[in-house]
């Protein structure tokens, strides 16, 4: 016999999102650093990560910052590291400053090591959510384009005199 699902049970189900572990890294200077990592990603934080990335790309467009397409996936990983570690980043919202930090981070071996510390299933959750959003966006665009075409066709039918070619 099945039990009734309750919030208390759901609360137990999400406790793993609160887990944190520390990873030691040694820099080129021989100094040891500790980075706290949240290995499991809450869906709400996945959404926040993607929003932050989207905001960055919008700001980059506004600031006329050209971000090569081949760097876009690495930028997503950069925002994952920002969201799910205690690594300190600028608070600046300027795309040029964020992009500058990205270029520094992406070129360091320590950044690659931090990325490797995340479980694959957590990283997959971000990309899965990103692709779901893209699919839904495309579905909505196709739906609204079709609706607009139907409205326009109806307008042409009802208002033939307006849409008729003018003879000179």
Asked if pLDDT for residue 166 goes beyond 90, the answer is: no
Distance between CA atoms of residues 53 and 137, nearest Å: 16
Torsion region of 89: left, alpha or beta (phi above 0 gives left; psi -120 to 50 gives alpha): beta
* Gap between the Cα atoms of 40 and 51, Å rounded: 18
CA distance 108 to 111: 6
Mean pLDDT, all residues of the chain: 87
Domain chopping of the chain, boundaries: 14-131
This prediction's pTM: 0.75
pLDDT of 161 reads 67
Q: Cβ(81)–Cβ(122) under 8 Å?
A: no
- Half-sphere CA count of 90, side-chain side, radius 13 A: 13
Q: Is the pLDDT at 107 greater than 90, yes or no?
A: yes
């Amino acid at each position: 016999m099945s039990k009734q699902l309750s919030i208390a049970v759901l609360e137990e189900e999400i406790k793993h999102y609160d887990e944190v572990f520390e990873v030691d890294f040694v820099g080129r200077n021989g100094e040891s650093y500790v980075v706290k990592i949240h290995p499991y990603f809450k869906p709400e934080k996945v959404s926040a990560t993607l929003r932050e990335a989207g905001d960055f790309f919008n700001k980059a467009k506004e600031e006329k910052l050209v971000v090569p397409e081949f760097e876009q996936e690495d930028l997503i990983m950069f925002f994952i590291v920002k969201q799910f570690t205690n690594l300190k980043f600028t608070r600046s919202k300027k795309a040029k400053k964020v992009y500058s930090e990205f270029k520094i981070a992406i070129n360091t071996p320590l950044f690659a090591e931090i990325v490797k510390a995340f479980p694959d299933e957590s990283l997959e959750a971000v990309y899965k959510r990103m692709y779901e959003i893209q699919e839904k966006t495309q579905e909505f665009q196709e739906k609204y384009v079709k609706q607009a075409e139907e409205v326009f066709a109806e307008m042409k039918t009802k208002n033939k005199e307006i849409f008729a070619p003018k003879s000179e």
